[in-house]
Amino acid sequence: MTLTEQLYWGGAGLIVLWLAVFGLALVATRNGTVTPGPATQDFGADPEPPAVVSLLGNQWRGVEHAAAATLLDLAARGLVELRQPGDDPARSTVHLTEAGRAAQRLMPYEQRVLDRVTARAANGSAPIGAIAFRDDERAASWNTALRREIIAEARLRGLSRYRFAPLLGSALLVGAFVPGALFAVAAVMGGHGVRAALFVGVAPGAALAFLLGKALGERATPKGLERAGHWAGLRAWLTAHEDFAQLPPASVTVWDRYLAYGTALGVTVLTSRLLGFDSGDRRRVWSSYGGTWRPVRIRYPRLRRLDEPAAAVGGRGGCGRGGALGLRDAAAARLGGRGRRAQRRLVASSGTGAERRLGGQRPARSCGGRQVQPLDAARGVPGDDARQLRERQPRLVQRCFGPRGAPARRVGGDRGLRRAGDVFPGTRLPGVAGARHDHR
């Protein structure tokens, strides 16, 4: 057996050895069994916050519903107020109180939740649906930071610890790349190129490091297992109430902190669904445009390319920075209040026989008593007269040029027709260049 072959076999043997040690570490560091205590309604002498109880109730795997439970706990302590004006719990609102504005010395995760509510309830109140984020990345970042703060509190109370000790974790991480080093040396000695050596050297280590990263997390302490058993008894007591699972968020005024702990333990179904701090439904959002909160339904049209690779729908003047495209999709044409006829007119206007008959120039159209050039769909640039008229008479030009101008629609309770870029300023609509809305 050559030295090169020995290096390859040695690297393979180290991978098997690493996997064996890793498996033994997983077995040795798994959580113990939680023994549920008797059903009780007692919180205990020094009860953990609902956010920490969420970690214990989820077997140290996550903190699902921790943000909603923290909001309900703040409401039970009088820092915020939850109201339900009608019969629909989804129309409930959250209001800031004087105690909430002056609150100090809160836990980091409590302050994070209160800051989110304060940001959305800038005028003193907001619908509970407006608390959700409109950006997936921002929601993930916010919840990741919240999880870190809750885990830090659980460790401080002696309820949680690292699954792997720092020394064991470091040894496994370093050992994951040793087989790759042998493979890389063997590849060089075998006459392979540098790229091949780098690939066989990095790929095994990256795969093993990925397995290690997936296994990293928290595990229980003996005290944590004891407290988890106590909260399992509270879960049994709350589950015995048949109507508890369907309680709305505003019922915190009656159930006090029990609703917060029930949400943390996954007992409340309705409240947990309504109080979401994740990325909500981007098709049904809440808008405060105009100073009044109201639900808004957003439609995302599908655009098909005709000439240029960019389309601007709903931007100011109907022509975004990337130019304009013909709207061949029916959903996009409906944004302009037209239909498939508008599509045929638009396709016909983007360079047909009429243009060839005039030597490459398109005939002017009469709009508002003036002769203006129609929108040049091939270049996405309207004539100078049309641009000036669009600034002065946007509705008139839209009526003349149809979907080639700024598409308009009626949104929520707004009076009149508004362009999508004006109704929703601030954030780009995914998949639609130039279209914007104001939800964060």
Residues 218-273: tens digit of each pLDDT: 999 999 999 999 999 999 999 998 889 999 999 999 999 999 999 999 999 899 88
Check whether residue 58 and residue 117 sit in a common domain: yes
- What does residue 378 show for φ and ψ, rounded to 5 degrees? -70, -40
Q: 3-state DSSP call for residue 374? A: coil
Model pLDDT for residues 5-15, shown as the tens digit of each residue: 899 999 999 99
What is the pLDDT at residue 433? 44
Check whether residue 133 and residue 173 sit in a common domain: no
Please give the Cα distance from 66 to 58 (Å, whole number). 10
Please report whether residue 290 resides in a domain: no
Check whether residue 348 and residue 426 sit in a common domain: yes
Check whether residue 100 and residue 247 sit in a common domain: yes
Check whether residue 335 and residue 413 sit in a common domain: yes
- What does residue 286 show for φ and ψ, rounded to 5 degrees? -105, 135
> Between vectors from CA 105 to CA 266 and to CA 251, what angle results, nearest 5°?
35
Check whether residue 241 and residue 137 sit in a common domain: yes
Q: What is the DSSP letter of 35?
A: -
Check whether residue 106 and residue 241 sit in a common domain: yes
Check whether residue 24 and residue 66 sit in a common domain: no
Check whether residue 254 and residue 345 sit in a common domain: no
Please tell me the chain's helix, strand, coil percentages from 3-state DSSP, rounded to the nearest 5: 50, 10, 40
Please give the Cα distance from 385 to 387 (Å, whole number). 5
Number of domains forming the structure of the chain: 3
Q: What is the DSSP letter of 5?
A: H
Check whether residue 330 and residue 312 sit in a common domain: yes
Burial grade of 225 (CB within 10 A; 0-12, 13-18, 19 or more): middle
- Verdict on whether the full-model pTM lies above 0.75: no
Please report whether residue 340 resides in a domain: yes
- What does residue 365 show for φ and ψ, rounded to 5 degrees? -120, 150
What is the pLDDT at residue 321? 37
Please report whether residue 295 resides in a domain: no
Check whether residue 92 and residue 132 sit in a common domain: yes
Please give the Cα distance from 314 to 152 (Å, whole number). 46
Check whether residue 317 and residue 430 sit in a common domain: yes
Please report whether residue 410 resides in a domain: yes
Please report whether residue 412 resides in a domain: yes
Contact (Cβ atoms closer than 8 angstroms) between residue 264 and residue 72: no
Q: Which residue in this structure is represented by tokens 């439970």?
A: 69
Please give the Cα distance from 307 to 16 (Å, whole number). 56
Please report whether residue 150 resides in a domain: no
Q: 3-state DSSP call for residue 268? A: coil
Please give the Cα distance from 51 to 56 (Å, whole number). 9
Please report whether residue 287 resides in a domain: no
What is the pLDDT at residue 417? 36
CA dihedral 169, 170, 175, 178 (to 10 degrees): 150
Under-70 pLDDT residues of the chain = 303-440
Please report whether residue 239 resides in a domain: yes
At position 427, the amino acid (one-letter code) is T
Q: Which residue in this structure is represented by tokens 């931007």?
A: 315
Q: Rg for the chain (alpha carbons), in Å?
A: 31
Q: Which residue in this structure is represented by tokens 């049904």?
A: 284
In Å, what is the CA distance from 253 to each residue of 41, 84, 211? Answer: 17, 11, 46
Is beta strand 418-419 parallel, antiparallel or unpaired with respect to 294-297?
Answer: unpaired
Q: Which residue in this structure is represented by tokens 């022509």?
A: 319
Range(s) of the domain holding residue 70:
50-144+222-274
Please give the Cα distance from 238 to 236 (Å, whole number). 6
Is beta strand 418-419 parallel, antiparallel or unpaired with respect to 408-409?
Answer: antiparallel
